[in-house]
A and B are shown apart, each in its own frame.
Chain A
Amino acid sequence: MATSLPKTEGGPALSRSAYRRSRGDVPFRFVSTASGVVLLAIMAAIAVFLVVKAVPALQANTSHFLTELTWVPNATEPVFGIGALAFGTVISSFIALVVATPVAVGVALFISHYAPRRLASVLGYVIDLLAAVPSVVYGLWGVTFLVPFMLGPSKFLNDYLGWIPIFGGDSVVGKSMLTASLVLAIMILPIIAAISREVFLQAPKIQEEAALALGATRWEMIRMAVLPFGRPGVITAALLGLGRAMGETIAVALIFPATFTISFRILSPNGNSIAANIANGFGEATDIGRGALIASGLVLFVITLVVNTAARLIIARRKEYARAAA
C-alpha cells in the first residue's frame, strides 16, 4: 500500500514554505509511531503490574497456589489456590463452546448459503444484535428467567440421563454450571457465527458451481466445497469464542453458585470461574485478598493470551481470512 512515493524535499518546484511544511512529517510520523508503541507498552504494563501486585499475596499464601482449591485469602493465614476456579472456567467455557459452535455454524450457513440474498444482511444484523446486548443484561435475564426456567429441563436430564456421570447427582438446581454455560454459549454465538459467515462467503464460487453442475445437492455442495474451505476459519472462530467465554464476568457472576469444589456434575450446585470470583470477592477483599484476586486475574490473562494467540496463528496462515477476523 502507501509506499512513501515522492521525496518532497529537493523537488524543483517546491517553494520555501512548502519545504517548511514538509518538515511537519517528522513530528507527525513520530506521534503516530509513538501511539503504536504506547499500545505495546500497555500490553507489557498489564503483565508487569499484575505480577507486581500478585507476588506479595502469593508469598503470604500458606498453600500451593496452583493446586489448592479453597479461596480464603482474607484470613490471617491466607489459604487460596486457583484449582477450583480454573477448573470451573475451563469446563464452563468448554460446554459453552460445544453448545454454541454447531448452532453458530448453522447460523452462518443459513445466512451465507440458505437465506434469500436480500434477507441475508438483515438476518446477519439480527444475530449481531445478540452481541450488542451488554453482558450485565444477560446476567439479569439469566438470574430472573433462565435459572428458574432451567429447573425443569435439568430435572428431566437428571431423571432420564442420570446414569451419565455429568448429569448425575442427588440435588438438581437452576443455579448450576449448565445454566451458566448456556448463558456463555448465547454470548459467544454471535462472534463465532460472524467469523464463520465471512469465511463461508469467501469459499470459491467456482467450486460451488462446479459441484452443483455435477449434480450435487445443496448439502453435498456445502460439504464438498464450503466446509473444507472454511474449516480453519471455524476453528479460529471457536477459539476466539472460547477466549471470550473464559473472560466473561458479570453474567456468570450472577449465576454461578460460587463454590470452591471440583465436580463434573453440571446440574448440581457447583461451579465458579476466575472472573466471577473476582467480581464477587472484590468488595470484601483485604490487601492480601486483592493481591490474590490479581494473581487469579494473571492466570486468566495468560490462559486467554494462549487461546487467542493460537487462534491468530491459525488465521495468519490463511491470508484470505485476514478480513474476516477484523
Chain B
Amino acid sequence: MTVQMGIKPISAGRRVKNGVAQVLVYLAFAVAVVPLVSVLWLVIRNGLKRFDIEFLTHSMRNIGARDAGGGAYHAIIGTLEQVLLASLIAVPIGLLTAVYLVEYGNGGRLSRLISFFVDIMTGVPSIVAGLFVLAFWILVLGMTFSGFAGALALSILMMPVVVRSTEEMLRLVPNELREASYALGVPKWRTIAKVVLPTAFTGIVTGVMLAVARVAGETAPLLLTVFFTDSINEDPFNGPQMGLPLYVFGQSALPQDVAIDRAWTGALTLILIVMLLNLVARLISWWRSPAKRG
C-alpha cells in the first residue's frame, strides 16, 4: 500500500454503511406515510358514496341495520354539543391553571406538583376518563346517561392539553411587558388580564382548537357516558345522546354493507370536522405568529 498524502477517500465499507442508513431512513418515512394515504384514500372513496343531504339531515330513527338510507344528523348535533360543553368546562380551568403555573406558582412545591400531574393526566387513557364519569356521575350520583356526562369525560381529556399549550404561550410573553405594566402602577391581576393574556391570545386559541380537535374524535369515553340512541336528542342534559365517533363505531360493528357505507361516511364527516378545526388552528397561529413577525 502506498502512503497517500492529503485526505484519504472514504473507504467503500463506510460509504456503503452511509448509503444503507440513508435508504433505511427514507424508507422509514415512506412506510409511515403508507397507512395515512391508505386511510385517507379509503375514507374519501367509500365515504363519498353516502355523503348526501339525507345523511346530514336525517337520523337513524326507524331505520333497521339492513335498510339503506338514514343519516347522522343526531350524531353530528350530539358531537357539537358535547364538544362545546366540554370546552366550556375545560378551557377556563385549563387557562387559569396555566396562569397559576406561570404567573403565581414561582416554582413552589404546589406548582411543581400540579405541573407533574398535568403531565400524568395527559397520559390517562380516554376509556379511564369515561369509566370515572360512569362511576362518579352516573353510578354514585345517580345521574342518567346524557350528552353532559360525555362532555365531563371529554373535558378531563382536554384540560391537560389546554394547560400545556397555554403555559407555553404565556412563557413566550416577554417579561419586559409585565415590568412595564407594573411600572405604570397596574396591579398584577390586571397586568395578566390586560397585557399577558391578550399578547398570548392567538397562541392560546390555537392550543384550544387543537385540544378540541383531539377530543372531537374520542369514542371510548362517550360509549360509557352518552350511551346510544338512534333518535335526535337536542338536549344534552337529558337522556342518551349520540356522538359522531360513536355512530361510526356502532355502524362499523354491523356486518351489513349499507351499515359499513354509513360508517365510512360518518368517518369522512368526522375527519372533515377534525381537519377543519386543525386547519383553523394552524391558520390562526400562522396569521399572527410572533416568530414570523420577527
Chains A and B form a bound pair: yes
A interface residues (Cβ-Cβ under 8 A, vs B): 1-6, 8, 11, 13-14, 18, 21-22, 24-25, 28-29, 31-40, 42-43, 45-46, 49-50, 52-53, 102-107, 109-111, 114-115, 123, 126-127, 129-130, 132-141, 143-145, 186, 189, 193, 215, 217-220, 222, 240, 243-244, 246-250, 253-254, 275, 278-279, 282, 290, 293-294, 297, 300-301, 304-305, 307-309, 311-312, 323, 325-326
A249 near B127 (CB under 8 angstroms)?
yes
A46 near B14 (CB under 8 angstroms)?
no
Contacts of B55 in A (CB 8 A): none
Name, among A53, A141, A220, the residue most crowded by chain B CB atoms within 10 Å (CB to CB).
Answer: A141
A279 near B220 (CB under 8 angstroms)?
yes
Determine the distance from Cα of A311 to Cα of B17 in the docked complex, in whole angstroms: 32
The interface-forming segment of B56-64, B80-88, B130-138 is B130-138
A103 near B188 (CB under 8 angstroms)?
no
Some 27 contacts from A to B, beta carbons below 8 A apart, are: A2-B178, A8-B188, A22-B189, A24-B187, A24-B190, A25-B188, A28-B189, A32-B97, A32-B100, A33-B110, A35-B94, A39-B114, A104-B28, A106-B28, A110-B29, A132-B278, A133-B36, A133-B271, A134-B270, A135-B220, A215-B7, A222-B21, A243-B125, A247-B126, A278-B220, A278-B224, A326-B167
> What number of B residues sit within 8 Å (CB to CB) of A?
107
Q: What's the nearest-Cβ distance from chain A to residue B162, in Å?
A: 11
B114 near A40 (CB under 8 angstroms)?
yes
Determine the distance from Cα of A22 to Cα of B191 in the docked complex, in whole angstroms: 10
> Could you say which of B28, B123, B159, B183 contacts A304, with CB atoms under 8 Å apart?
B123
B253 near A136 (CB under 8 angstroms)?
no
Contacts of A37 in B (CB 8 A): 110, 114
Residues A46 and B224 in contact in the complex (CB < 8 Å), given A140-B263, A217-B10:
no
Closest A-chain residue to B27, C-beta based?
A: A106
B185 near A8 (CB under 8 angstroms)?
yes
Name, among B165, B183, B186, B213, the residue most crowded by chain A CB atoms within 10 Å (CB to CB).
Answer: B186
The interface-forming segment of B37-45, B66-74, B229-237 is B37-45
Residues A31 and B96 in contact in the complex (CB < 8 Å), given A45-B132, A132-B213:
yes
Residues 86-108 (chain B) with a chain A CB within 8 angstroms: 92-97, 99-106
B33 in the interface (beta carbon within 8 A): yes
Residues A294 and B22 in contact in the complex (CB < 8 Å), given A134-B218, A138-B39, A217-B17:
no
> Could you say which of A38, A129, A145, A219 contacts B38, with CB atoms under 8 Å apart?
A145
Determine the distance from Cα of A246 to Cα of B95 in the docked complex, in whole angstroms: 29
Q: What's the nearest-Cβ distance from chain A to residue B117, in Å?
A: 5
Q: What's the nearest-Cβ distance from chain A to residue B59, in Å?
A: 19
Closest A-chain residue to B210, C-beta based?
A: A132
Determine the distance from Cα of A118 to Cα of B7 in the docked complex, in whole angstroms: 32
Name, among B125, B186, B189, B252, the residue most crowded by chain A CB atoms within 10 Å (CB to CB).
Answer: B125
Residues A110 and B26 in contact in the complex (CB < 8 Å), given A40-B117, A247-B125:
yes
Residues A282 and B223 in contact in the complex (CB < 8 Å), given A249-B125, A326-B164:
yes
Residues A139 and B249 in contact in the complex (CB < 8 Å), given A18-B185, A35-B100, A278-B224:
yes
Residues A134 and B274 in contact in the complex (CB < 8 Å), given A38-B93, A39-B117, A300-B128:
yes
B43 near A141 (CB under 8 angstroms)?
yes
A21 near B128 (CB under 8 angstroms)?
no
A42 near B156 (CB under 8 angstroms)?
yes
> Could you say which of A2, A129, A186 contacts B102, with CB atoms under 8 Å apart?
A2
Residues A5 and B35 in contact in the complex (CB < 8 Å), given A107-B29, A110-B29:
no
A137 near B182 (CB under 8 angstroms)?
no
B54 in the interface (beta carbon within 8 A): no
Determine the distance from Cα of A140 to Cα of B267 in the docked complex, in whole angstroms: 8
B21 near A32 (CB under 8 angstroms)?
no
B239 in the interface (beta carbon within 8 A): no
Determine the distance from Cα of A217 to Cα of B22 in the docked complex, in whole angstroms: 11
Q: What's the nearest-Cβ distance from chain B to residue A120, in Å?
A: 11
Residues A43 and B117 in contact in the complex (CB < 8 Å), given A123-B29, A145-B42:
yes
> Could you say which of B18, B101, B220, B260 contacts A249, with CB atoms under 8 Å apart?
B220
Q: What's the nearest-Cβ distance from chain A to residue B43, in Å?
A: 6
> Could you say which of A28, A40, A46 contacts B192, with CB atoms under 8 Å apart?
A28
Q: What's the nearest-Cβ distance from chain B to residue A322, in Å?
A: 10
B205 in the interface (beta carbon within 8 A): no
Contacts of B218 in A (CB 8 A): 134-135
A4-B188, A136-B252, A244-B123 known, 15 other contacts, Cβ within 8 Å: A2-B103, A8-B188, A29-B104, A50-B131, A50-B132, A134-B270, A189-B32, A218-B18, A250-B219, A254-B249, A278-B224, A282-B224, A294-B131, A308-B122, A312-B120
Determine the distance from Cα of A323 to Cα of B167 in the docked complex, in whole angstroms: 11
Closest B-chain residue to A129, C-beta based?
A: B36
Contacts of A193 in B (CB 8 A): 32
> Could you say which of A132, A137, A248, A279 contacts B223, with CB atoms under 8 Å apart?
A279
B110 near A36 (CB under 8 angstroms)?
yes
Determine the distance from Cα of A129 to Cα of B278 in the docked complex, in whole angstroms: 9
B159 near A39 (CB under 8 angstroms)?
yes
B118 in the interface (beta carbon within 8 A): yes
Contacts of A126 in B (CB 8 A): 33, 36
Q: What's the nearest-Cβ distance from chain B to residue A243, in Å?
A: 5
B93 near A136 (CB under 8 angstroms)?
no
Contacts of A215 in B (CB 8 A): 7, 10
